[in-house]
Structure 1
């Protein structure tokens, strides 16, 4: 075949003929470059793509759930006066630690001491009259047997004696009441803890059971953390424990605390109780944990995150989140390399996140090779070469196996 002929192309001399010739050459070269050898022989000779894989093995995973919460004092007591009077002195330093029974304030006791002394005197007077009426009643009880006196005289003597007994009892009650009121002039700490600022100073007039407290005491050691958890999470956990998928050691759930600055609190706590009613508006309930607080590092009202150890699930697989994607149906999928070095895509059953990994319940077997690096360059059915890698759970970084440190355990977050 004749590609070019003088009847089709005429090349004129001069500068104008140069441009068509250059364009023609470029078109020919582009066409040649676009030609690709797609024969089976060429495909067989092409080098397989190298990708990074992580070999998966079943392991025991410690399940935890992280819940937001607020610290609260384990005991709170508002200090109020029990009697009226003028505050004479304050006996504590604001912000210090006090013990139960320590005297905090003194109210002017003069009037209450006078009432007490009067009650004591009345009691003594009543007790002085009692022996005479008692002896007379006994003597008349003997005479009435011999009918030496009339029944009316005997009854009058008995009445006087009973009246004197009542007078003594009433006087004793008045003495006790006066003693209590006198004691209330010393306002004492009802609990041990840290005392706050004083809202009233010496010289102030106070009244019994007034609405404004004199001060407040909070017990900070131990300290409580109140958290909220969804009812769905509780149901899932209880069903997993009942079915045997999650094993719980002991009856007390250990709790760790993550502070506002991201550090872990040095003292572990324990789960104390959970409410028996779910909030209808939010679908949550309150859970309370207790933590030692000897250094008073935790103060009421601080925002924290509690990490609750739920239990251990055996024979589980952890898949790095970077290796999992979603298919068109929204299902979690991952790429694996089979025995014949062919890439295959599997649908996974994911239950919860574990740090930077997923806890997978089905779709994986022992020794499976998970593609963790280079998955964007391969497709299902493609033959590849592999290099064993590992993924750091804390950072999600992929490293060759020889450069990675062996993992010591795993923890799950719900």
Structure 2
């Protein structure tokens, strides 16, 4: 009897075990119901401030020489010698070719002799006219004889004038046997060699000289951009920078030309076929880097947009309607997405007219991980203007506590 009591469980032990099991189950359910503690998403932001922005237009252009002169002979003859080095720089008046001068020298000598003969005839006619004048005054000669003597004198004087003109013509033609450079510049190759026969004002140029310092760049601009530019100035969005507008060049290699140019003029008519007009800029070219015919990109400063915002392109996206949008972090640390009114891109930035205020924080990294209304932790960074990439972190700041309380 006593042994049976020892082996049977106590009537008070079973309820105690059930109570402990129930308590443990309740604790496990309470732990399962509690949400896990999650850290906030960290995003990188830039602080936006208004600033004056130079508005530029990048347009295709072609380099052209400042002056171009095609060298042609002005007399007939055989080229005796070429006196320049092809591809070199020449100055105005430098002798380039020499045409055989012998026939022109002979013509000049003949003209000089004819002038001397005419001058001698004038002297004889003058003496005769004076003699008949005296005879007429003494009533010893007739008026007819005096008039004939004066006419002969006038004819002789006219012959002298004609002879002088012939001498001058012969002298000019002799000078033309030395073909000289009409302008300063770089000379091309020679089209003809010594021994070639040339004719006056022939169609084939002997060579061409191009003035490369300074040099011109002709660019085309659309009439639509011109009208928009004028409207922006009239509405106050743009402040015109003045008549001496600076122009920069980008070469085919992608590098920027190390000299700045200035606008010279714009055409006063629009091409009816293309709807464009030409603008010419002039650039210094001391090292002869720019050569006629080269294609370049001209960056023309059109004006200055005052109190404008530049938003990095990496912080601007598009919604389903194609509108530009940006995500901002408000003072309460929550994300806000809004539509932006972008005007144009400038480098790696968007020029925005509205939708932004001074001091606002634009998310430039991590924006794809957050949504509107979400609380985030921000880290302020700066952007490399040349590449558009994050350059450095200026400071770190927490918009709210690092954990979320339920």
TM-score calculated relative to the size of structure 1: 0.82
Matches within 5 A, 1:264-413: 264-399=256-391, 401-402=393-394
User: Is residue 2:227 matched to residue 1:238?
Assistant: no
Aligned mates of 1:400, 1:94 — CA distance in 2: 55
Instruction: Calculate the aligned-residue CA RMSD, in Å.
Output: 2.4
Shift in alpha-carbon separation, 1:181–1:369, aligned structure 2, 3 A = same
Q: Deviations over 1:254-292 (max 9, x none)?
A: 112222212222222211122111112222111111111
SS of equivalent residue, structure 2 residue 65: strand
Matching residue of 1:229: 221
Q: Deviations over 1:331-382 (max 9, x none)?
A: 2221222233332222211111111110001111111121222222222233
How much has 1:398 moved relative to structure 2?
2.9
Matches within 5 A, 1:183-194: 183-194=175-186
Q: Deviations over 1:138-178 (max 9, x none)?
A: 55456556655433223222221221121111111111111
Q: Deviations over 1:197-222 (max 9, x none)?
A: 11111111111111111111111111
Aligned mates of 1:329, 1:280 — CA distance in 2: 35
User: Is residue 2:177 matched to residue 1:156?
Assistant: no
Matching residue of 1:89: 81
Aligned mates of 1:327, 1:365 — CA distance in 2: 21
Matching residue of 2:195: 203
Matching residue of 1:165: 157
How much has 1:243 moved relative to structure 2?
3.8
Compare 138-147 and 109-118 and name the one that shifted more: 138-147
SS of equivalent residue, structure 1 residue 161: helix
How much has 1:185 moved relative to structure 2?
0.7
Matching residue of 1:75: 67
Aligned mates of 2:49, 2:382 — CA distance in 1: 12
Residue ranges of structure 1 left out of the alignment (5+ in a row): 1-35, 405-414
Matching residue of 1:109: 101
SS of equivalent residue, structure 1 residue 328: coil
Contact preservation (8 Å) 2:57, 2:302: yes
Contact preservation (8 Å) 2:380, 2:395: no
Shift in alpha-carbon separation, 1:379–1:136, aligned structure 2, 3 A = same
How much has 1:86 moved relative to structure 2?
0.6
Larger radius of gyration: 2
Compare 378-387 and 95-104 and name the one that shifted more: 378-387
Aligned mates of 2:134, 2:320 — CA distance in 1: 111
How much has 1:393 moved relative to structure 2?
2.6
How much has 1:389 moved relative to structure 2?
2.7
Matching residue of 2:46: 54
Matches within 5 A, 1:4-23: none
Matching residue of 1:10: none
Contact preservation (8 Å) 2:382, 2:394: no
> When the two structures are aligned, how many residues end up with a matched partner?
365
